[in-house]
Amino acid sequence: MNVMANRPRRLESYVGGAWVAGAKEGVPLLDASTGEPVAFIDSSGIDFKAILAHGREKGGPALRRMSFHERAAMLKALGQALMERKEEFYALSTATGATRADSWVDIEGGIGTLLSYASKGRRELPNTRVLLDGDVEPLSKDNTFAAQHILSPLQGVAVHINAFNFPCWGMLEKLAPTLLAGVPAIVKPASQTAYLTELMVRRIIETGILPEGALQLVCGSVGDLLDHVEGQDAVTFTGSAATGRRLKTHKAIIENSVRFTMEADSLNAAVLGLDAAPGTEEFDLFVKEVAREMTVKAGQKCTAIRRVIAPRAYSEALIESLGARLGKTAIGNPANEAVRMGPLASLDQREEVRARIRDLSADAEIVAGNPDNPSVQSGDAVAGAFLNPVLLYCDRPGSARAVHDVEAFGPVSTVMPYDTAEEAVDLARRGKGSLVASVFTNDPAFAEEVVLGLAPFHGRVMIGNRVSAKSSTGHGSPLPGLVHGGPGRAGGGEELGGMRGVKHYMQRTAIQGAPTMLSAVTGRWLPGAEARAAGEHPFRKSLAELKIGDQLITATRTVTLDDIEHFAHFTGDTFYAHMDEEAAKANPFFDGRVAHGYLIVSFAAGLFVDPAPGPVLANYGVDNLRFLTPVNPGDTLQVQLTCKEINPRANAEHGEVRWDCQVTNQLGAAVAQYDVLTMVAKTRE
């Protein structure tokens, strides 16, 4: 099928392992610049209960059989395959009204999120199918009963209901952590731009990389889908607060306690610092950032700047600078390379934005732009959904309401003056919770006061100044490693945030029992669990031979005063507690001169290391090092080294091994405790 044919096509849904057209021709979807039909959309006739069952019964088990590293490799392969096909997506993206730069954020930004989660999954997650959450909780004095929290994949389906503004990124940023967690997904794109999502899903399915049932697509209405969600399912929604609230209170979601995440309206604010007067670098950066956030994607971004909060003394100069910059923006058909801002996604969307500008005008006056008379370089100003950037000014924002309640989801922002930092924070908070705020200042004291005032009301706060100008990702860019979401009006949800996003699709469970039983469940040796004295040194064992619980009890070594003094002079660490008997005795923690902590770690390594070449390739770190009991001259050290966790690397000839290392003295008291991290070959030479 040639999905790039010029004639309008009927979009299909991918459900139950097949591409299926709706029973009706469907609703036409129009090119945002020309008004010409691009596609028809309809989902009537689909058995939505059956597609949920397909995901649960087919996709879920296949994903859960894979380890985190295998799923990460799957995401990497998928991201690479999509990147090879990116020009096809760019070509169709112009119909949505997106310029090449806008489409880069959506297409390559979305693919980049897939690749980022693939990388994070390999680096930050173990090559297992269960995650440990936190430390062991001892529940008995004799160490026979303990608890460990674990995270395991939900055994349902994640239903992702997405917005029209990012048909690629909006799908992929949710799909990446979902699949990495081991949960299948059903994607429902917003109808206006669903043709681009459908094209990308076609290419995903064609790769054959995902197991069947891991991804399904619904083009059109979701029908009675939500009537059939259950307690192991999850639903995410991006869109208007009104629609989100209706979905959140759906009978099945409430009765089955279905996980529901919402990203809704957001009146994001940008604050210009009191120090950022006209002529400063921060003032110029602020003007550039506000103008960019108003025009990228024609302002159709959930993170776009809606409220511009500036010192009253600078407001006139700010309006003049913004008006001049916005007035130079080339508007037209994004297929024209000279165009810098395309149309809104649809004529209905343009009328919606115009209506919201009229609402805002109750509190503010238009100071730049004419919403009723678009001026374009190309495209059809009547049939296309064009709208010039509109800047408003609200002189008394403290007593206004509309500017803090109404979001015009387009190239529209309102300038609001303030006199004190406290007033700036108050104005930003009146948005009742937002995805992001930014503060442009070179004054650390102002930054501290404003950021701490904004933080409880925002999911992300960006500080911009001359130092970070070249490297900053900007006010409006959600990043895979950072939380995307916000409290209150913004929906109260949370996406991305690195591995936090993966855990949203997993169940946290407290497992209680004897340490040996917990070790069997978690795949990690715990203190008190059974251990095996190794017949040969455990460092002589490859990953194929090594077992969790393999243990070495070393010989002993007595620490002398000469050892302490030699270490002090050799390293330069002549801290008084190691060198001055009288001063050390005056210290409430010591009873005289003590050995250096790192001398203890060094001696411990000397006791447990096997020096010959072998399966252990390298020591790459130490975790959770604690010094528990001071070591004095004459104390004797011994080490208990236990294989704690084995983590083979996918597509490599080695893996990581975590060793529990406990150093004790002649009285059996713990002197030091830590984890030793080594690289070990999978097989012997």
Catalytically active residues are 263, 302
Per-residue tokens: 403: 């500017």
Q: CA–CA separation, 166 vs 190, rounded Å? A: 9
Q: How far apart, in whole angstroms, are the C-alpha atoms of residue 375 and residue 339?
A: 12
Q: Which three-class secondary structure state does DSSP give residue 80? A: helix
- State the Cα–Cα distance between residues 501 and 210, nearest whole angstrom: 20
CB 256 within 8 A of CB 180: no
Residue 484, SS3 per DSSP: strand
Joined together, the tokens standing for residue 133 give: 């959450």
Classified as helix, coil or strand, 568 is helix
For residue 157, report the phi and psi dihedrals to the nearest 5 degrees: -130, 145
| Cα–Cα dist 152/198, whole Å | 31
Rounded distance between C-alpha atoms, residue 8 and residue 617, angstroms: 60
d(CA 40, CA 334): 22
Residue 558's φ and ψ, nearest 5 degrees, are -95, 135
- 417, β-bridge pairs: 310
Cβ atoms < 10 Å from Cβ of 7: 8
Where does 402-458 have alpha helices with state H? 402-405, 421-429, 444-454
SS3 189: coil
Distance CA 262, CA 247 (A): 9
Over the Cα atoms of the chain, what is R_g?
30
Helix (H) or strand (E) holding 317: helix 315-327
Sequence-ordered alpha helix ranges (H) in 482-545: 499-503, 515-522
- Identify the CA nearest to 413 among candidates 291, 306, 322: 306
The terminus-to-terminus CA distance of the chain in angstroms comes to 52
